[in-house]
Structure 1
């Protein structure tokens, strides 16, 4: 086991590909955050006000159930990756954070997005979980060659 866990949620495969590359290239452990009910393309239609993702994102208290959680006890750093939804982290990320004990962990956030940055995502998570140690995040658009340097800085 390494001191770094890459935990990620991916709805379309983009974040999954990057998370797997980061983990494989750097020998980090990896955990996929899987919803109990997988998102369909219709669920992800952000232009439809009745789509599942739109409804979830409009209710900040909603926590989509995840199929399983993991033990993060042995990790010093937990890297959480996800696609940006509505300029922030999908609510399933809150489900994951609330299902594990991240107290005392260094938490690094990476996002995938065609245009939205990571700063609002990190700031929203810091506001929701002020007791946790979120560090500066990063947005990946395909090239993850600097991932190890970013993850391991300040370790």
Structure 2
């Protein structure tokens, strides 16, 4: 009788142990899903305080910047030239125009009229600009060379009618000399809002 009782007790304990292991296996199986969800949210959680800095000559980059700022809940900052660009300045078909002269002389650094309030408080910078001859305009170089990007993640984006991103993002990161620069993205001049929102959601 004692042996039967003992055997029955051991069977109950063994069954309980298997049930406990079964529950543990279920929890472990669910863990990757929880980890995956955390990984999906990680970029936004790690982004910290963010700002969308942009230069826009014709308004296309401004539209893109506004959508990105709204989607990412970022501060919006326009790089304004102390000497505003006129329509004649932007006539790339005129070899004597301002934009052509600046393109031909990369050392020209147009003066910026405004400053970013509390620049050091931002951890992530979305940097937007139009593409001029495959490059960012000189005034964007002015901004990049006069700001410290140490400890910041920089996410370049550009707009253009037909030209690609080229190496504009790489060139900007080199002159910056600091910061974690991600690869840039080019959007068409028409600026498809859905494309911008989908892209911004990644961050």
TM-score, normalising length: structure 2: 0.69
**1:37 aligned partner:** 83
Query: Are the counterparts in 2 of residues 103 and 132 from structure 1 also a CA contact under 8 Å?
Result: yes
Q: CA deviation at 1:91?
A: 0.6
SS of the residue corresponding to residue 145 of structure 1 reads: helix
**1:146 aligned partner:** 198
CA distance in 1, matches of 2:51, 2:171: 22
Is the aligned partner of 1:100 residue 2:147?
yes
**2:180 aligned partner:** 133
SS of the residue corresponding to residue 151 of structure 2 reads: coil
**2:99 aligned partner:** 53
CA distance in 2, matches of 1:56, 1:126: 20
Is the aligned partner of 1:15 residue 2:67?
no
Query: Are the counterparts in 1 of residues 67 and 197 from structure 2 also a CA contact under 8 Å?
Result: no
Alpha-carbon RMSD across the aligned residues, in angstroms, is 1.5
User: Which runs of no fewer than 5 residues in structure 1 stay unpaired?
Assistant: none
Question: CA deviation digits over 1:39-75, x for unaligned, max 9?
Answer: 1111011111110011111111111001012132111
Alignment match of 1:63 (pick from 102, 109, 117): 109
Instruction: Please identify which structure carries the higher helix content.
Output: 2
Question: CA deviation digits over 1:77-124, x for unaligned, max 9?
Answer: 111101001110001011111232211211111000112222411122
Query: Are the counterparts in 2 of residues 79 and 110 from structure 1 also a CA contact under 8 Å?
Result: yes
Is the aligned partner of 1:121 residue 2:165?
no
Query: Are the counterparts in 2 of residues 111 and 118 from structure 1 also a CA contact under 8 Å?
Result: yes
SS of the residue corresponding to residue 18 of structure 1 reads: helix
